[in-house]
Each structure stands twice: as structure tokens, then as C-alpha cells.
A and B are shown apart, each in its own frame.
Chain A
Amino acid sequence: MDAPQQSSRNACLVKVKGLSPDRLAALAGTNTAFGLALQRHLQKPDSPQVTAYVVFNSAL
């Protein structure tokens, strides 16, 4: 049961693997919502293990 589910989950993700490092760096270097999201993704393996706070969703 796990294998097909896992592959369908992976298929849902946005893949950056096929892109050249230069293109990725250029995209991640833009000060846009997407550029910064990509930066966060690419920096992840090199950065120290930081545990971000899970944002508490509440309203007053």
C-alpha cells in the first residue's frame, strides 16, 4: 500500500531536480515570492538544523 501512495505523493510535488544549478541560482536570486521560496528550499540542506515554530493559527 505504501509504495503507490508514496509515488503519487511525490508526483504531487514541485520538482527542481532537472534544472541546471545556474538556472536555479538565478531563479532563487530574484526578490520575488517564488525566488524566496526557492531560496528557502535550496538552503535547507546546508543550514543547521533549525526547528521553526509551528505557526499557531488563531484569531482574536
Chain B
Amino acid sequence: MTGRELGPAGPGGPSGVPLRQFLLKIHSRCNLSCDYCYVYFAADQSWREQPVVMSLDTVRRAADRIVEHALEHRLPSVRVILHGGEPLLVGRKHLSELLAVLRERLDPVTRFHCSLQTNGTLLTPGVLELLLDHRVEVTVSLDGPPAAHDRHRRFADGRPSHAQVAAALGLLGRPGYRDLFVGLLCVVDLANDPVETYEALLDFAPPRVDFLLPHGTWRHPPPGLEDRTAPPRHPPDPEGRHERIPYAQWLIPVFDRWFDAPRRETSVRMFEELMSGLFGDPVNAEAFGLTPHDLVVVESDGTLEDSDSLKVVAPGAPATGLDVFRNSFSEALSTDTMRRRQSGAHGLGQVCRDCAFTTVCGGGLYSHRHHPATGFANPSVYCADLAALIAHMRRRMNESLVRPL
């Protein structure tokens, strides 16, 4: 039985889609001090109590739990995401040992994909050789050209990081390592020029680009949306006529630049998944659509958490009270958060359920819906922007269907 064959569950209902993605926080600290980082600067400060490095004992236990889950649900494949903090701070030796543990336990049971999300500052040829040996795919955070990237992504002593990241990307782009390069993660900053940002990412020939919206909630709206403090009572005007839509106005020129390129230059995940939704197909992105959530976070001490982005909601918001030493991953499927995130449109508030874009937008990222009074039963704090972006994309797609070839 595969994940998609199990019925999704509503809050309070039976547990649903098995987990297939396991995010291991193998190092809880970072060598950068990015001022927008949800791990260190958000409401939840639990990282302070976490061990710095995930021990091999914890890795073994997590791997055994993944095996147990894969066998229980007959999963043909699983993905392990090595994350932090900055995961490469564990050092080459520990990384080598933990990858060996994962391979040794998971390979006999299921197809095991492993990826690493890094800030890029510690990607050396030695590390890349190790990642190559273990077929670990690499995603690097890059926010655009030097000035854009270094506005937020600096070392704790204030030094900029762009030059180091660019050098690492040069290395990752070399023929021997190129296959490991999965893509770039770019956090949107309204202060940066959108097309210039996108073109700076293209300079590194990434196979894929993911644009991420800065985290925020209705209580703590993201930069530029400080006036958005009350969730709407009605679905938005798709043309964005009644609201400021700065994030749509940032993303639309990027979409047009990408969409109008005579040859496709890279995959832009946000746009491709929204287009898939506009064609009536599944949207495979955590931030959009109604595909059930299938990821769990294992902190460096082995505790299980729901998505990391919930750290922006409140202290303890991502906590499940479970850990890999005492609990199976199937138990993590029973938390209210997980059930709601696996229940498709039923897990949304009424406004989103009444919206013309429900199946495409899916209410936006779960944590972005939060309001202290109404919990998560709200549209995203980005609602008006998302609707305007999706409406624009739909218009462009419809035009493309009828324009002369």
C-alpha cells in the first residue's frame, strides 16, 4: 500500500497518510546569523535546549524508526533531509558515520533518498566527495546578488557570506559534483529587485529554484504586510483590487520573466506546482495545494516536531511530546496538527473552502494561517497576494493556449 492509497484523516479521525519525509536536525546551531531565520529569531526558542549535534545513537534510533514505519506502511521510498542549524557543522567524520548508519539500515528496506539543506559556507571538495559517495543531493540557500543576499545572510560577527556561498556553488557546478546539485532556496525580500534576484540565481545554473515567502502570521505579519492583522471574512478579489499585494507584485515579474523565456532556464518549484494546480492536477508543495503533509522533524535530541515553520507561531507550537526513543512515527500521525494537515480542504477554514482557488492555493503554508483567536482556521496572511499571483498565472496560461505558435 502506498501513501496515496490510505485515506486522509480529519482532526479527530483515524491517522492517515504515512510519513515519507524525515527531516533530521543533525546540528542545532548555525555559523550564520540570518536575521529572518525562524529557528533562532522566532517565538519558539527550543533550540537553546537541544544538544548541539545529533548523536549517532539518536541517528540509529531514528533510522530504526524509519525502517519500522517503512515496513509497516510498505513504503517504496523515503526521503531523509539533513538539516540544522547548519548541518555541515557536524564535521566530515560525524557526517560520514551518520550517513553510513542511515544507508546500512534503510537501503535493505526501501529506496532511500537523502538530501542536505545547507547555507553553502562549508561545502568543500572533501565534503562534496563524501556527499557524492552517499548520493546526497544538495540544496543551497542563496537570496540573490551579493547586496541582496548579504542584507540578511551574515555571520554572527557581521561578515557577509555571499562570496563564500558563490565559491561553493562554483564547486558544486563542476562536472563531478553537478549531479548532486538540486537547487537554490531564495527567501523573498521586497527590498530586492525581483528580476535581478532571479537572474542572479540563474548565474549558477541551478536545476531548480524555490522561492520562499518570509514567515509570518496574522499576529506577526511578514515584512511589508504589517497592516494585515485581521484575517478576511470573504475569499479575496483575485485581481487584488482592494488590497496592497506587494508579494504578488514581486513574484509576478519573476513569473513573467521565467514564463516568457524562449527556452526554459530552470525549474521554479512555486510556479510549476501552482500551474499543476491550475491544470487541475496535484500540487506537490508544502506551501500550496491540498496534498497531505507527509513530513516530520526529528530534533537533535530525538524529539519529534511538526513543521519547523510553526516556530513562528508560539513557543512550543511545533512540539508533539513524542520522541524516537519511545514513540513510533505512526504515533506522530495522530497529532491534531498532523491530522489537520492531512485532511485536505476539510482542514481549512470556511473562507478558504469558499475560495475559487482552494485546490491550487490550499490556504497557503499552514503556519502562515495562524491567528491567536482562531488558530489555523484562516486564510494565509499572504491570501491577497497568493490570489493575485494565481489569477495572473491563470491568465498567462490561458493566453498561451490560444496564441499563435
Contact = CB atoms under 8 A, between A and B. Distances in A.
Interface of A: 5, 8-14, 16, 19, 23, 26-27, 30-38, 40-41, 44, 49, 51-60
Contacts, number: 140
A-B interface, 6 closest residue pairs, ranked by CB to CB distance from nearest: A41-B279, A12-B356, A52-B284, A37-B275, A14-B397, A57-B287
Interface string B282-310: 10111100011111000000000001110
A56 B264 contact: no
A59 B376 CA distance: 22
20 contacts: A12-B356, A13-B280, A14-B279, A16-B279, A16-B401, A23-B405, A32-B259, A33-B264, A33-B268, A33-B271, A33-B272, A35-B264, A36-B264, A37-B397, A54-B291, A57-B210, A57-B285, A59-B34, A59-B36, A60-B117
B37 A55 contact: no
A55 B210 contact: yes
B309 A58 contact: yes
Contacts of B262: 32
A31 B287 contact: no
B293 A54 contact: yes
A40 B276 CA distance: 8
Contacts of A16: 279, 401
A50 B74 CA distance: 15
B196 interface: no
B34 to A, nearest CB: 8
A27 to B, nearest CB: 7
B284 A53 contact: yes
A59 B281 contact: no
A41 B276 contact: yes
Highest count of chain B CB atoms <10 Å: which of A33, A38, A44, A59: A59
Q: Which of A34, A35, A56 has the most CB of B within 10 A?
A: A56
> Chain B at the A interface: mostly helix, strand, loop or mixed?
mixed
Contact of A32 (B113, B141, B264, B398): B264
Contact of B286 (A19, A52, A57, A60): A57
Nearest to A41: B279
Given A23-B405, A53-B79, 11 more contacts: A9-B356, A9-B358, A10-B280, A12-B394, A16-B401, A33-B258, A41-B281, A51-B20, A53-B113, A53-B294, A58-B117
B23 interface: yes
B71 interface: no
A8 B309 CA distance: 31
A13 B393 CA distance: 11
B118 interface: yes
B400 A27 contact: yes
B70 interface: no
Contact of A5 (B119, B278, B354): B354
A57 B185 CA distance: 9
Contacts of B281: 40-41, 44
B78 to A, nearest CB: 9
Contacts of A8: 356
A12 B360 contact: yes
A31 B141 CA distance: 27
Contact of A33 (B141, B210, B259, B308): B259
Interface stretch (B48-56, B81-89, B377-385): B81-89
Given A5-B354, A27-B401, A56 B23 contact: yes
A31 B263 CA distance: 5
Given A34-B397, A59-B212, A49 B284 contact: no
A12 B387 CA distance: 11
B94 interface: no
A54 B38 contact: no
Contact of B294 (A38, A41, A44, A54): A54
A9 to B, nearest CB: 6
B359 A9 contact: yes
B248 interface: no
B278 A13 contact: yes
